[in-house]
Structure 1
Amino acid sequence: MRTISDTIRRLNKQQSVLSNGSANNRGRLSPLADFGSNPGQLRGWTYLSDKLPPDAPLVVVLHGCTQSADDYDVGSGWSLLAERYGFGVLFPEQQRTNNPNLCFNWFSTSDTTRGEGEVCSISQMVETLLKNHRIDRTRVYVTGLSAGGAMTASLLATYPELFNSGAIIAGIAHGTASTIPQAFDRMRGHGLEDGAALAAHVRQASSHKGPWPKVSVWHGTADTTVDPINMEAVIGQWGILHELDRPASKSTLDGHQVRKWQNADGQTVLEAYAINGMAHGTPINSRGENAVGSARPFMLDVGTSSTWHIAQSWGLIGKSTETAPALNPTAGLYSVSPDKQSGNSIKNTIENALKSAGLLR
C-alpha cells in the first residue's frame, strides 16, 4: 500500500506533466506562416530539424477533436521520431472560429472539395514546405485521428498526386457525409454506401486517374464513437480504387488482427489493423521496444504504437542519430487501462489516488 507521502509525490509529478506537457515536446513545433491564401483558415506548425537531410520525407499529421497540434504531437511522438530518423513533420491545426470542438470539418463539402476550404489550406502548407525546404515530393505522407482521420481520407481523395501513402486512424471514408446529421449517422455506422459508390466519390474528387496512394487503416474494436464498420467502408473504398482481386493475407501484431492486400505487382497497397478492445483513439506504446509517445485522452496506451508501425511501413525508420532524445520521455505517467481508455484523464487519476490515500471521499 502506498504511503501518503509517496502518493503526494506521484501526484505532484503527474500534475507537473499535465501543466507542462512533455519537457522534450512542449515548444518543439514552429509556426508556419505565409503558406498561401488559406481558404480554410487553419494554422500550421512544423518540426524540421536543423539536421534534416536532403530530399527528406514529410509526414502530415492531423489531430482529432478537442486536440491541438502540440497535444497530438506529445501523445503520438511524431516529432521525436522525426528527429531521430531524419524526416519532417507538418501539423495543420484547427481553430475554434471554424469548429468549436476543434474538429476538422470532414463533413463539410466546402472544406473537402479540391481547391477549397481546409483541404486546400493543407495542400498549400505542403506545397510551401516542398518549395522552401529539402523535402522529397515523392515521399509525402498523411495520417490523422478521428476527424483528422476522416480529413486524411479526404486529402487522399482530393489531392492524391500529393501523397505517397496515408494512415486513417478511427476515421471515415471520404464523401460519406455533407451535413452534421449525416456525419453523426456515419459515425454510428448508419447509411454507409458500398465500395463501388464510395470509390466513385474519390474518382470524382479530382482529375487524377492513378496510381492511387497506399492506405493503412487503424481502428479499435471497442470504439463507440466511430463504429468499427467504418474501417470496412474505408477498405471497400480504396480496395476498389486499387483494383484488388487478391484476398487479404492475415496475421497478428501484438495479438491484434492485421489484414494486408497486394496489387497485381505484389505490392502491399492496403492494410488494416483492428486493435482488440481499444476504444476511440490512437494506439500507442509508451514502454519497451518500439515505445514512442505518451498516453493522454484519446492517445491510448495499448502496447502497440501506431506511430512506430506506420512510420516503419512508410520506410521512415532507418539509422538513428546519436543525439536523438528518448522517444517516450513521459513513459508510465499516462498509463491507460484498455477498459477505461476513452474517459480517462489526469483529473480522474488524481481523484482516484486521493481516494485511495483516504484524502478524498
Structure 2
Amino acid sequence: MRSLSDTLERLARFRTGKSSDATAATSTLYRLQRFGPNPGALEAWYHVPEGLTEAPALVVVLHGCTQNAAGYDHASGWSKLAEDFGFAVLYPQQVQANNPNLCFNWFNLRDIRRGQGEVHSIRQMVETMIADHGIDRRRVYITGLSAGGAMANAALCAHPEIFAGGAIIAGLPYAAATSVAEAFDRMRGHGIPDAESLQKRLSGASPHSGPWPTISVWHGTNDRTVAQANANAVIAQWSGVHGVPSSPSLVEAVDGRHKRLAWRDRSGRDAIELYRIDGMGHGTPLDVASGYGHTAPYMLDAGISSTLHIARSWGLTPSFQRRRERAAYVKSARPAHTASRSQPDRQGDIQSVIERALRSAGLIR
C-alpha cells in the first residue's frame, strides 16, 4: 500500500503535468521530500512499483561522480527490475553545493562517521522508506559506482546493522582516505592501508558485532580511474569480520570470459565475492541485451549485467521469473534530469574533470 506522502506527490505531478524538481517525465523516480535530519544535505529519490507486495525488499543505489539519480537509474535498470520483481529502490543524490562534481564525499570523515554527514542522511532515508512502505528491514541492500561505491561501503561500515548486503562497483575501502589529495592517491592505488589497518577501521566504525552484510565487489580489469588494488583492499577489509580464508573458496567463469571469486564463511555461505570484468574500464557493467540497462558514460555494455547478478545474489529475482510481464521498452526514451551526456567512454574522464576543478580552485597543483 502506498503512503499518503507518496500519493500526494503523484497527484502533484499529475496536476502540474510535469515531474517535480526538474525530474524528467521519462524518469520513474519520485522525490522523497521529508526524511528527518539531513546532515549530509543530500536529496532522495525513489521508485515503488504498483501493487507493491507485503514486506518488500529495498535497494539503495548511489550514483558516481558527474551522474545523478535519474540518469543512473535509467542506465542501470534498477527501477525496471524492481517493477518486474516487486521491490523498492531508493536513490540518495549528491548536490553541487556539497561537491561540484556530484561525487559523494567518501574521503571526508565528517560524511562517513556513524551518525554524521552523508551516511547519516542515507540512514534517515532508509528508515523513512521502511516506515512509509512497510519495507522488510531484514532485506535492505546498498550498491554504488565509484564514489558512490565508496560511499556505499562507508554506509555498510558505519551502519552494518541496517544492511543485509552490499555491492561495491569500482569503489574503494572505508576510511582509506581523509583528504582530497589522499583520495587521488588511493584511486591510483598508492598508499592503500594494509589489511589489518583497514579491518580496524571497519570494526571501529560501529558497535555492531554481527551478523555482517554480505559483500559483492565488481571491478573492470582495464579500469584506469580506480585501480584494481582497491577491489582487493575492500575484500581484505571485510574478510576479518566474516572470518573467511585469505584465498578464495571458489573461482569460476561467469557469462563467458569474466571471473567470479567467492570467499565462504564457516557456514558455507558466500560471504564475499569478487567479479573481475574482463577488458572493462571504469564503470558499471551492463548486458544491454538482457533488457535491463542502457549504455551511457561509465555505464558500459560488458556482456554481463551487474544489476541482474547482484539482485539474484540478494534473492530479489528468484529463478528470474518476473512478477509480471514487462511493458515493451521504448529505446528512444531518456531522462532529461541527468548530469551525464551521451559521449564515448574515455578512461580517466571522471578523474580529469575533478582534477581540473580542483586545480582551478587552487586545491591541488
1:137 and 1:58 map into 2 onto residues whose CA distance is 8
Mapped contact 1:297–1:344 kept (Cα < 8 A): no
1:33 and 1:310 map into 2 onto residues whose CA distance is 28
3-state SS of the aligned residue for 2:38? coil
Deviation at 1:323, TM superposition (A): 4.2
2:188 and 2:302 map into 1 onto residues whose CA distance is 23
Q: Give the fraction of aligned pairs with identical amino acids, expressed as a percent.
A: 48
1:322 and 1:213 map into 2 onto residues whose CA distance is 29
Deviation at 1:34, TM superposition (A): 1.1
Distance 1:256 1:329, change over 3 A: farther
2:34 and 2:211 map into 1 onto residues whose CA distance is 31
- Number of equivalent positions: 312
Deviation at 1:297, TM superposition (A): 0.3
In structure 2, give the amino acid aligned to 1:274: R
Corresponding position of 1:342:
346
Mapped contact 2:281–2:347 kept (Cα < 8 A): no
Mapped contact 1:278–1:341 kept (Cα < 8 A): no
Corresponding position of 1:197:
197
Distance 1:25 1:292, change over 3 A: farther
3-state SS of the aligned residue for 2:262? strand
2:59 and 2:233 map into 1 onto residues whose CA distance is 24
Corresponding position of 1:154:
154
Corresponding position of 2:261:
259
Mapped contact 2:224–2:348 kept (Cα < 8 A): no
Corresponding position of 2:54:
54
Deviation at 1:320, TM superposition (A): 1.5
Corresponding position of 2:273:
271
Query: Which consecutive residues of structure 1, in runs of 5 or more, have no partner in the other structure?
Result: 1-23, 334-339, 346-361
3-state SS of the aligned residue for 2:201? helix
1:134-283 pair list within 5 angstroms: 134-245=134-245, 247-248=247-248, 249-254=250-255, 255-283=257-285
Deviation at 1:52, TM superposition (A): 0.8
3-state SS of the aligned residue for 1:244? coil
Corresponding position of 1:302:
302
Deviation at 1:54, TM superposition (A): 0.5
2:347 and 2:235 map into 1 onto residues whose CA distance is 28
3-state SS of the aligned residue for 2:308? helix
2:225 and 2:291 map into 1 onto residues whose CA distance is 26
Q: Once the two structures are superposed, what CA deviation does each residue of 1:87-142 show, in whole Å capped at 9, x if it has no partner?
A: 00000000000000000000000000111100000000000111111210000000
Q: Once the two structures are superposed, what CA deviation does each residue of 1:1-52 show, in whole Å capped at 9, x if it has no partner?
A: xxxxxxxxxxxxxxxxxxxxxxx98221000011011000000000011211
Deviation at 1:329, TM superposition (A): 4.5
Mapped contact 1:242–1:263 kept (Cα < 8 A): yes
Deviation at 1:175, TM superposition (A): 0.9
Instruction: Give the alignment's TM-score, normalised by structure 1.
Output: 0.83
- Which portions of structure 1, spanning 4 or more consecutive aligned residues, are displaced by more than 2 angstroms? 24-27, 321-326, 328-331, 340-345
1:53 and 1:297 map into 2 onto residues whose CA distance is 34
Corresponding position of 2:9:
none
3-state SS of the aligned residue for 1:274? strand
User: What is the root-mean-square deviation of aligned Cα atoms in Å?
Assistant: 1.9
Q: Once the two structures are superposed, what CA deviation does each residue of 1:131-183 show, in whole Å capped at 9, x if it has no partner?
A: 11121000000000000000011000000000000000000000101100000
Deviation at 1:58, TM superposition (A): 0.2
2:246 and 2:68 map into 1 onto residues whose CA distance is 40
Corresponding position of 1:34:
34
1:115 and 1:240 map into 2 onto residues whose CA distance is 24
Mapped contact 2:143–2:167 kept (Cα < 8 A): yes
Corresponding position of 1:284:
286
1:61 and 1:224 map into 2 onto residues whose CA distance is 23
Instruction: Give the alignment's TM-score, normalised by structure 2.
Output: 0.82
1:174 and 1:235 map into 2 onto residues whose CA distance is 11
In structure 2, give the amino acid aligned to 1:275: I
Distance 1:63 1:272, change over 3 A: same
In structure 1, give the amino acid aligned to 2:280: M
In structure 1, give the amino acid aligned to 2:327: P
2:246 and 2:184 map into 1 onto residues whose CA distance is 33
1:323 and 1:266 map into 2 onto residues whose CA distance is 35
2:67 and 2:82 map into 1 onto residues whose CA distance is 20
Mapped contact 2:62–2:92 kept (Cα < 8 A): yes
In structure 2, give the amino acid aligned to 1:104: F
3-state SS of the aligned residue for 2:260? strand
Mapped contact 2:50–2:83 kept (Cα < 8 A): no
2:201 and 2:309 map into 1 onto residues whose CA distance is 29
Deviation at 1:241, TM superposition (A): 1.8
Distance 1:69 1:130, change over 3 A: same
1:277 and 1:323 map into 2 onto residues whose CA distance is 34
1:143 and 1:58 map into 2 onto residues whose CA distance is 11
Deviation at 1:325, TM superposition (A): 2.7
2:277 and 2:168 map into 1 onto residues whose CA distance is 13
3-state SS of the aligned residue for 1:148? helix
Please tell me whether Structure 1 or Structure 2 has the larger radius of gyration of its CA atoms: 1
